[in-house]
Amino acid sequence: MGIELEPDKQQSTSASVYEDMRSRLVVGRFKAGERLRSEVLREHYGCSASTIREVLFRLSCDGLVDFVDQKGFRVPHVTRDDLREVAEIRIMLESEGAARSIANGDINWEAGLTAAHHKLRHIEHKLRTTGQIKTNIEVWCAAEWEFHQNLISACGSNLLKEMHRSVYDRFRLHLLTLLTDYGFRERAIAEHEAILKAALARDPDLCAEKIRIHLMKNLEEPFVDAAE
Amino acid sequence: MGIELEPDKQQSTSASVYEDMRSRLVVGRFKAGERLRSEVLREHYGCSASTIREVLFRLSCDGLVDFVDQKGFRVPHVTRDDLREVAEIRIMLESEGAARSIANGDINWEAGLTAAHHKLRHIEHKLRTTGQIKTNIEVWCAAEWEFHQNLISACGSNLLKEMHRSVYDRFRLHLLTLLTDYGFRERAIAEHEAILKAALARDPDLCAEKIRIHLMKNLEEPFVDAAE
DNA sequence: ATCTTTACTTTTTTCGAGATTTGCGTGAAT
DNA sequence: ATTCACGCAAATCTCGAAAAAAGTAAAGAT
């Protein structure tokens, strides 16, 4: 049980292993609290334990895996409080980034944001109609990220963008491990639209409020039983 | 059998090298843009190149060193814009943390903050009197960190504290490489006192304003000539 | 029966060498 | 004189094994 990984015959390098592990984590391929043994991962990726160790260290810096000295790595076992903390920080960063984008963004920012929302809207309606959330969760994740990234893309601060990326991924990882619905809710469709409208209306305070509503709604969803 | 005590035996392990490198970076022992060759560091710490590489990776995740694939590590060569970005983020995090501490903090928070300020005040007056900034910069750094850490210590969010720690160190590293005065200014004494008073007066907005003033003043200081 | 000691197994951490890649200087051709 | 190609030197990256530490289980002592 635990790690189910398809064999990767390509020559796995440090960067590729990092990207693959990251995407797998954020999409919920690992179980919370699961130990990440270097030997198992080494076998799957076809590289040495040193490379695995290096990748896991980078992921631990991103907050995507836990590291304890002399005890190895494991997928963080998150609590509701952890999720709330991450949500609060993401609200702060994304509201700030959106406000700056609203102040600085030109027509290209508006165009990019609108395009990202259009794609997101498309996949979300598809999800709502078909109800096949699990099979389309990855493409939805990508579209959702695109939209929120575009929202702050004109903020003018690379550091703010980097931190937002980091916190966004942590938020997603926490959602996937804590919730039963993989992070997608029908209400999110209207919430995304409200954020878009506030941004295009150049109203930073309203936009911040819509972001807060959007993220906080996730905390009210049904939680998986944390039986251990 | 007797107790085995080998003081200062060069038993450099991964964790100790990481801590040492980090403190050296934050205190300005390396020059901006300097290459961090694993062979040189390996010799200094008496460990293998792999251990050095691992430590440098962790530091790059913290944003304290730059890493480029296949090109190695180097001390980031920062610009005024980088410093401004870091300052803005730190203002955001520290203001938020202070506001939450003001809302949540009890008498213990007040006591700890007051104690930290007392120590900081002591060393700062000593620095102003003797003028020996360079020799005492490390102890001042520690005291300054203690104060700002205590300011947000009652915020109730571990994530916020971790991110603040990270950004604080980056801010300090940038200051030391960009400025001529090692980050200490006489005006900082009054600024720290203003922050303390606003915090004890439980005025989050005033506190945020004083934090902004304190950090922004650093951007006006004399810069080292960035001739490149 | 409970706790401590001890030997063994598993996992993590470190190491040094070999493979790979980059950087730079030399030299020939246009 | 400039450009391009080639090759040597230096550094990075990867690997598998050895060393160290932690976890585990059984035997012995209180």
B158 vs chain A: nearest CA distance in angstroms?
Answer: 8
Name the closest residue on chain B to residue A89, using Cα atoms: B160
Judged by CB atoms closer than 8 Å, whether chains meet at B163 and A89 is answered as yes
CB A178, CB A223: distance < 8 Å: yes
Q: In angstroms, rounded to a whole number, what is the distance separating the alpha carbons of residues A106 and A108?
A: 5
CA A84 to chain centre: 14
pLDDT at residue A6, rounded to an integer: 34
Q: Looking at A24-33, A187-196, B210-219, which range is the least confident one?
A: A24-33
Sign of the CA dihedral B117, B119, B122, B125?
A: negative
Residues 22-41 of B with CB under 7 A from strand D: 35-39
The yes-or-no verdict on residue A204 having pLDDT over 60 is yes
pLDDT at residue B209, rounded to an integer: 98
B56 closest-nt by C1' vs CA: D12
B11 closest-nt by C1' vs CA: C14
A69 CA to C6 C1' distance (Å): 26
Sheet containing strand B72-74, edge to edge, reads B35-36, B72-74, B66-68
The yes-or-no verdict on residue B87 having pLDDT over 50 is yes
CB contacts, 8 Å: B57 with chain A: 54, 57-58
A interface with B, Cβ–Cβ < 8 A, is 15, 50, 53-54, 57-58, 61-62, 69, 82, 85-86, 88-89, 92, 96, 157-160, 163
Using one digit for the tens of pLDDT, what is the confidence trace for B17-75? 999 999 999 888 888 889 999 999 999 999 999 999 989 989 998 899 999 988 999 99
The yes-or-no verdict on residue B7 having pLDDT over 50 is no
Mean pLDDT along residues B134-143: 89
Percent of chain A at pLDDT exceeding 70: 90
Using one digit for the tens of pLDDT, what is the confidence trace for A97-128? 999 999 999 999 999 999 999 999 999 999 99
Greater model confidence, A50 or B167: B167
pLDDT at residue A76, rounded to an integer: 92
The yes-or-no verdict on residue A226 having pLDDT over 80 is no
CB contacts, 8 Å: B92 with chain A: 92, 96
Mean pLDDT along residues B204-209: 98
pLDDT at residue B10, rounded to an integer: 44
CB B208, CB B99: distance < 8 Å: yes
CB B160, CB B166: distance < 8 Å: no
The yes-or-no verdict on residue A9 having pLDDT over 50 is no
Among the listed residues B91, B24, B19, the one whose alpha carbon sits nearest the alpha carbon of residue A159: B91
Chain A interface, mutation test: which of B163, B166, B171, most A Cβ atoms within 10 Å?
B163
pLDDT at residue A113, rounded to an integer: 98
CB contacts, 8 Å: B85 with chain A: 157-160
Backbone angles phi, psi at B179, to 5 degrees: -100, 160
Among the listed residues B204, B176, B208, B154, the one whose alpha carbon sits nearest the alpha carbon of residue B83: B176
What one-character-per-residue DSSP string does chain A give?
---------S---HHHHHHHHHHHHHTT-S-TT-B--HHHHHHHHTS-HHHHHHHHHHHHHTTSSEEETTTEEE-----HHHHHHHHHHHHHHHHHHHHHHHHH--HHHHHHHHHHHHHHHHHHHHHHHH--HHHHHHHHHHHHHHHHHHHTTTSS-HHHHHHHHHHHHHHHHHHHHHBSSTT--THHHHHHHHHHHHHHTT-HHHHHHHHHHHHHHGGGSPBPP---
Asked whether strand D has any atom less than 7 Å from the CB of A108, the reply is: no
pLDDT at residue A224, rounded to an integer: 65
Tell me what the pLDDT averaged over chain A comes to: 88
Q: In angstroms, rounded to a whole number, what is the distance separating the alpha carbons of residues B6 and B98?
A: 43
CB B93, CB B85: distance < 8 Å: no
pLDDT-derived band at B149, boundaries 50, 70, 90: very high
Cβ contacts below 8 Å, chain A against chain B, sum to 45
Using one digit for the tens of pLDDT, what is the confidence trace for A65-87? 999 999 999 999 889 999 999 99
pLDDT-derived band at A7, boundaries 50, 70, 90: very low
The yes-or-no verdict on residue B2 having pLDDT over 50 is no
Cβ partners under 8 Å of residue B50, min gap 6: A50
pLDDT-derived band at B221, boundaries 50, 70, 90: low
Strand D positions within 7 A of protein Cβ atoms: 11-17, 21-23
Greater model confidence, A32 or A160: A160
pLDDT-derived band at A61, boundaries 50, 70, 90: confident
Return the structure tokens found at B39.
């062979």
Greater model confidence, B200 or A223: B200
Backbone angles phi, psi at A206, to 5 degrees: -65, -40
pTM equals: 0.89
Chain A interface, mutation test: which of B19, B55, B61, B212, most A Cβ atoms within 10 Å?
B61
Judged by CB atoms closer than 8 Å, whether chains meet at B157 and A57 is answered as no
CB contacts, 8 Å: B58 with chain A: 57, 61
Burial tier of B107 (Cβ tally within 10 Å: 0-12, 13-18, 19+):
exposed
A51 CA to D13 C1' distance (Å): 9
Using one digit for the tens of pLDDT, what is the confidence trace for A148-199? 999 999 999 999 999 999 999 999 999 888 887 677 889 999 999 999 999 9
Mean pLDDT along residues B120-135: 91
A95 CA to C28 C1' distance (Å): 61
pLDDT-derived band at B164, boundaries 50, 70, 90: very high
Mean pLDDT along residues A25-54: 89
Asked whether strand D has any atom less than 7 Å from the CB of B48, the reply is: no
CB B214, CB B192: distance < 8 Å: yes
Backbone angles phi, psi at A67, to 5 degrees: -130, 130
Burial tier of B150 (Cβ tally within 10 Å: 0-12, 13-18, 19+):
buried
Nearest by CB to B96, from A61, A92, A157: name it: A92
Asked whether strand D has any atom less than 7 Å from the CB of B69, the reply is: yes
Residue A74 bridge partners (DSSP): A35, A66
Q: In angstroms, rounded to a whole number, what is the distance separating the alpha carbons of residues A189 and A69?
A: 43
Percent of chain A at pLDDT exceeding 90: 61
B159 vs chain A: nearest CA distance in angstroms?
Answer: 7
Mean pLDDT along residues B194-222: 94
B41 CA to C18 C1' distance (Å): 21
